[in-house]
Each structure stands twice: as C-alpha cells, then as structure tokens.
Structure 1
Amino acid sequence: MTPTPTPASLVARTPEDILAFVPVALGFPPECSVAMLTFGRGQSFHARVDLPDDPDDVDDVVDALLRPSLRHRVRQVIFVVYDDDTVVADESAWSLHEAFTERGIEVIDVLRVHDGRWFAVLPGRPPEAYDGVPFDSGSHPFTARAVFDGRVTRASREELRATLDPVPDEVAASGALLATSPAPLTGDRVRAVVTRHGEGPVPVPTEVLVPLALALRDPASRDQAWAGLSRAVARAHVELWSDVVRRLPDDLVAGPAAVLAVAAWLAGEGALAWCAVERCRAVDPGHSLARLVADLLDEACSPELWEPVRSSWERGAA
C-alpha cells in the first residue's frame, strides 16, 4: 500500500476532479491498482494497492485498505479501480464496497478507469457513464496547481522507481574507492556529514560517500543518519539520500536506501518511500529499518507521529 497525505486546498466535486486528484496525491497515475481517497474525523490519507492476478486474492486488497481505515476512523471513502473490465476489477470494486459499508464506512463512489475513460460502477449515474466517459487530467486545474506548488507527478510508478537507478560512472568511482578498504565514518562524523549536506545542494564527495555508506551498516551509526530528521528538512534529505543511493554499488546501498525511505515518508512521499524500501530489500531482504518504514506505510501512519519519537530519541542521545 502507498499512503499519501492530502494535498492542501484541492476540493474534488466531479469524477473528473477525482481522476485528476489521484495522480497528484500519489505522485503518478496508477495502473492495475485500486486507489482509495479517505475522509473523516481521524487522519485522512490516500492509498494505492496493486490489483491481484487471481480473484481469490481480492480479500488481501480489501484487508490492506480496510485495516488502516478502521484504525484511523475514516468515515467516507472513494475508490478508483484502474483496470480493464476484468473479473478481478469487478470483484475488487464490489468487495471493497461491501466490506467498507458493512463496517459503517460510507462509500461515496466507485469508479473504474481504463484507456482514458472512466466508468461508473455504482447505480444512479446517467446511462453514458456505464459506457465510458473520456477525460483528460493533463489539462485539469488540479494538475496545473500541482506544477505551481512544485509537486512532481511522474508518468508511472516505474518512472518514479527509475529515479533511484544507479548512475554507472558514479557507481564505478565508488566501487574503485571501496576496493581500497576505507574505514567507515564514526557515528559523530555520520551525523556531521548528514547535517552539512542536508542543508544545501552540494553532493557528498565520493571520498566521503563510501565511508558514510560503510558506517550505515552499523545500526548505531545508521541511527545518527535518520533519527534526528524532522519534517522541516525531510524534503532536502530526500534529495540528499536519493543522490547517495544512485551513486553506490549494490553491496553498499541498503543502509542509505533505508534512510531515504524514512526521509521520503516524513516528506509525505509515500510512493518514493516504498521504492526506497524495495531498493533496500533487493539487497538486504531483512533490513530492520526498511521493515520499520514498510510497517509505517502499511498502517498509513502520519508523519506527524514522528516528532514525539524524534524528541524522545534526542533526549536519550543527549
């Protein structure tokens, strides 16, 4: 699941509004997915779950979306199913409607999207809504507002994931330095480097980058890289750690990718946080920090929960 906070000052009133809002909220237009928009007295969040290949696995989709909705006291939801008119799409739409309604959560609407058209699922729409209504989110005011606000919407999740792909020349330079067996940075030095380069656009030099990554293999040193983060600086640290991840060979990338996942979660970039978790797990499937972030994302935990944890950690480290 990819939970994402609500972009401010966007009010959706029509199906076209909803369909323009989803890519802005998630950071990319979904494919073969269910997107959920939530509303209520608790924490509002938006989420995306991949559709399964088998209709028998639809219950997993329902559970992944219903569990955090109940936890956060969601009162109303809208579902958008991105898929052709398949058995899985139809089963997912109606199973979600039934499960949420049974638990007292109002389902405002369910839409299905395929090939630039939206289709009504629930009864009560005009007849043409069930035959497919063309739409174009690219010219919608929500899309223009997102660009104005500096929110980047990628063409797909694959394009977002590709922003963390290795840069061959940089990886080769890091690998050459690694072959000389440099010493890892100390914990204090890790924090100093992260603080310095998190404040500006100057990338970490290779001669520091490799010792930094080596240090992050040690959990105590890794804590120095992420536990002092705040939401105010999270976006700058997303840029910092994205650059670090792209420049490292695979055997050094797990720790930095996990720290990137924390920063992305704090910055409200849930989809990027998942991509960072996946990059970490591809090298180290059991990585503890990646598991922590994955749990936060699965439960749609708000970044607002972080500040009390950070303050407690700071007091303990003092």
Structure 2
Amino acid sequence: MTSTDRPRLAVRSPADLLAAVPYLLGFHPADSVVVVALRGRRIVFAARADLPAPPEDPAHPARHLAGVVHRQRVDAATVVGYGPAARVTPTVDAVREALGEAGLELLDALRVTDGRWWSYLCTEARCCPPDGRPYDPGTSPVTASAVLAGQVALPDRAALAARVAPVDGPARLAMRRATDAAERRLVDLVEASPGSGPPGGRALHEAGVTAVREALRRQRRGERLGDDEVAWLSLLLTHLSVRDHAWERTDGRDRDIALWSDVLRRAEPEFIAAPASLLAFAAWRAGEGALAAVALERALAQHPDYSLAVLLDDLLRRGVPPSDLDGWPAVGPPGVVRPRRRRRRAGR
C-alpha cells in the first residue's frame, strides 16, 4: 500500500495512468490487481494485491483493497488488472463491486497484458478496439517526468525484495567475524558495569545512544558504517531502550531509509528485527509502502513475534495513512508507545 506524497505526474489518459503505476508502487506489477485512488483530481494512493489463484474467491482481496482505499478518504478510483483475462476479469469485477459498496466513484477498470490494455467500461470500438490498445511506457511523458524527478520503478517485486536481501559471500563472512567481536565487547561492557538494575542496563543504553547518534551523523555526511560499527549497532538495538531511541529519531528521510537498509542487509539474522522495523517505519512515513512491506517480511520471517514489526505490519495492511499518526512514536518506558497529539499551529 503506497501513499503518493511525491512529485506529481500529469495523467491525462489510461496510457498515462499505466505508465505512472510502476512509479506509484516502486516496481512493475505482474499477476496483480492495483487500485489507484484520487482525492479531487490528484492521485493520492495506490494499493496492490496478488491475483487470487483458483479456486480462491476473488471477493476476499477485493473487500480488503476496497477497505484500505476507503480509509484514505478519497473520492474516486481506477482499477487495473495485470494478467490474462481468465484471472483478471473476476478479480476486477469483484473490486469494482466492493468499491461501489464503499461509496467510491469508479473512473475506469482496465486490464493489461503483453503491452496492450483494455477497458471494461468502454464499448466504443474506435477508442477501445476488441484486440486492445498498444502502449509503451518507455515513450510516455509520464515516465520521463518520473525519472527526471528521481522516482524509480524496479522490474518487479522480487527486485524490490533484493534491496533488503542479506549480503552474502565475503561480505557475510566479514560480518560474522565482526559480530563475534561485538558480542565479546558486549560481554565486557556488561561485566564492567556496576549497579543494582538489569545487568549493564545503564551502560548498554548509553552505548546504544552513542552508537545511534554516530550512525545518524555518519549517514548525514554520506559515510557508510564499517562492519564493526554495524555489528555493534545491531547488537545494541536488541535492547528496547536503544531501539526506541533510534525509532524516535527515524522519519521518512532518504538518509533514514539508506541507513536502516544498509544495517538490515549486513546484520546477522538473529539481529535483524530492529533494523528491519526501523526501515519499514521510515519507508512507510515516506510513502514507500512496498519497501516497508518487504522489510517487514524479512523481520517477521525471522522473528514472527517481534512486537514493533507486528504493529507496523498491521498498520500497513489496514492502509493507515502516515499523516494519521503525525508526531508518532512518543515512547515512554522501554517498548511502550504512547500516541502523541499533533502540535497545533500558532494562532489556532
């Protein structure tokens, strides 16, 4: 599910819309149904689901998509199905019905296969011939505008997942060695820490705050963390007070996404839950719902009960707009998240 707080793309025809969809999602969809939602004349949201495989009922993803889109407080939508007619048509029909029940105006319903598109609503052979209309997104001015604005459309969802895939080969071996050294360093820190609280509690928190601050500073300067720094940070993030400190300082900035993507890819599997969740939060805040989803898939596959990942996954699946939670998180005691009221502007 993707909010579209990005440079505006001028969409004037079905072909323009089809050229825009990959940039709204972040990748070129296949075997998918996509709903593009508008508020007034502006595209504000795009949601995608896999086409159901027979004998799965197409009404299930249709109701889910319609509910997600309806929560965005939009006025109208266009449905696009990608794939053969036998699979696309029942799903598009179910989504159309569900959107109508939600009170949304249906602008168009399209099917795309092999570089051609068809409209389910147009019956004029002159503009909507039975064999479809060819389109080439590579020649569209929408594509040119998106590229000029720095937007990226990866070849498919697998390419998006590769952005958060773990490093391998020599890079993985180097990280294992760095993590072994970081674990020994952590033991030394705990053993040297006095106090009656949890073992090393204060010292661990202070070390974590320092590591997070240094990582953010290095990222602002365009510097990449070394293996020892990533290993040390990933260990410290397993402590909730450190994770929450990093979470409060993470937003939808490009540098936040870059930092936590790098840490996620390089951290050892047992330590990925926090950086994956921080990346998902940053991507969600930036309107990159698809990137947030693949980050959460990595987190939950390895750590299915990690509470922050479970919370963010629920927000993403329900299509909660990031703007609904401006000022969030407000973190109390470690791991306890409190809603924060939006700040009121002066004079109101």
Q: TM-score, normalization: structure 1?
A: 0.90
| 2:284 aligned residue | 265
The answer as to 2:32 corresponding to 1:13 is no
> For residues 219 and 146 of structure 1, do their structure 2 counterparts lie closer, same or farther at Cα, with a shift above 3 Å needed?
same
Query: Aligned equivalents of 1:124 and 1:273: distance in 2?
Result: 39
Work out whether residues 32 and 83 of structure 1, in 8 Å CA contact, stay in contact via their aligned partners in 2.
yes
3-state SS, counterpart of residue 238 of structure 2: coil
Q: Check the 8 A contact 1:40/1:74 in 2, yes or no.
A: yes
Conservation of the 8 A alpha-carbon contact between 1:81 and 1:89: yes
For the residue of structure 1 that corresponds to 2:225, the secondary structure is coil
How far, CA to CA, are the matches of 2:218 and 2:129 in structure 1?
A: 52
Are 1:223 and 2:222 matched, yes or no? no
In structure 2, the CA distance between the partners of 1:6 and 1:221, relative to structure 1 (3 Å rule), is: closer
The reply to whether residue 173 of structure 1 matches residue 174 of structure 2 is yes
Mapped contact 1:110–1:121 kept (Cα < 8 A): yes
Partner of 1:39: 38
What letter matches 1:147 in structure 2? V
Amino-acid identity (%): 34
CA distance in 2, matches of 1:43, 1:146: 14
Match of 2:229 in 1: 208
Q: Is the 8 A contact 1:39 1:75 kept in 2?
A: yes
Summarize the alignment of residues 1-318 of structure 1 with structure 2, pairs less than 5 Å apart: 2-40=1-39, 44-86=44-86, 88-126=87-125, 128-168=128-168, 169-180=170-181, 181-184=183-186, 186=205, 187-231=208-252, 234-310=253-329, 312-313=330-331
SS in 1 for 2:80: strand
* Distance (whole Å) between structure 2 residues aligned to residue 80 and residue 174 of structure 1: 43
Deviation at 1:126, TM superposition (A): 2.4
Q: Secondary structure at the match of 2:57?
A: helix
| Whole-Å separation in 1 of the counterparts to 2:106 and 2:123 | 14
- Determine the C-alpha separation between the residues in 1 that align with 2:5 and 2:256: 21
CA contact (8 A) 1:5 1:44 kept: yes
CA spacing shift, 1:134–1:300, aligned 2, 3 Å: same
Query: Which residue type is aligned with residue 25 of structure 1?
Result: L
Higher alpha-carbon deviation: 193-202 or 180-189: 180-189
TM-align CA RMSD:
2.3
Moved more, 130-139 or 19-28: 130-139
Cα shift readout 1:186-242 (whole Å, capped 9, x = no counterpart): 3322431343133132112222211211122222221111222234xx211111111
Q: In structure 2, list runs of 5 or more residues that go unmatched.
A: 187-203, 333-337, 339-348
Which residue of structure 1 aligns with residue 341 of structure 2?
A: none
Instruction: Report if the CA contact (8 A) 1:45-1:300 is conserved.
Output: no
| Secondary structure at 2:77 match in 1 | strand
Moved more, 52-61 or 236-245: 52-61
Q: Any idea what the Cα deviations from partners look like across 1:256-291, whole Å, max 9, x if unmatched? A: 111111111122211111111111112112221212
Contact 1:47/1:65 (8 A) holds in 2: yes
In 1, Cα distance between the equivalents of 2:137 and 2:221?
A: 34
Deviation at 1:152, TM superposition (A): 1.5
Distance 1:112 1:254, change over 3 A: same
Asked whether the 8 Å contact 2:261–2:279 carries over to 1, the reply is yes
Distance 2:124 2:303 in 1: 49
Question: In the alignment, residue 115 of structure 1 is paired with which amino acid?
Answer: D
Question: 1:244 is aligned with what amino acid?
Answer: V
Q: Is the 8 A contact 1:173 1:206 kept in 2?
A: yes
Counterpart contact for 2:11–2:142, Cα < 8 Å: no
Q: 1:145, 1:32 → 2: CA distance?
A: 26
Q: Given that residues 254 and 284 in structure 1 are in contact (C-alpha distance below 8 angstroms), is that contact kept between their aligned partners in structure 2?
A: yes
In the alignment, is the contact (CA less than 8 A) between 1:118 and 1:129 conserved in 2?
A: no
Contact 1:43 1:72 in 2 (8 A): no
Give distance in 1, aligned partners of 2:129 and 2:110.
10
State the shift of 1:19 in Å: 0.4
Question: CA–CA distance in 1 between the matches of 2:324 and 2:251?
Answer: 11
1:120 touches 1:129 (CA, 8 Å); kept in 2? Answer: no
Alpha-carbon spacing, 1:27–1:129, altered in 2? closer, same or farther (3 Å):
farther
Residues 179, 228 of structure 2: 8 Å contact kept? no
Opposite residue 122 of structure 1, the aligned amino acid is L
Determine helix, strand or coil for the equivalent of 1:151: coil
Take 2:39 and 2:163, find their aligned partners in 1: how far apart are those partners? 34
Amino acid in structure 2 at the alignment position of 1:170? A
Q: AA paired with 2:179?
A: L
Deviation at 1:306, TM superposition (A): 4.1
Bigger helix share:
1
Partners of 2:254 and 2:309 in 1: CA distance: 18
SS of aligned partner of 2:53 = coil
Is the contact between residue 265 and residue 303 of structure 1 (CA under 8 Å) also seen in structure 2? yes
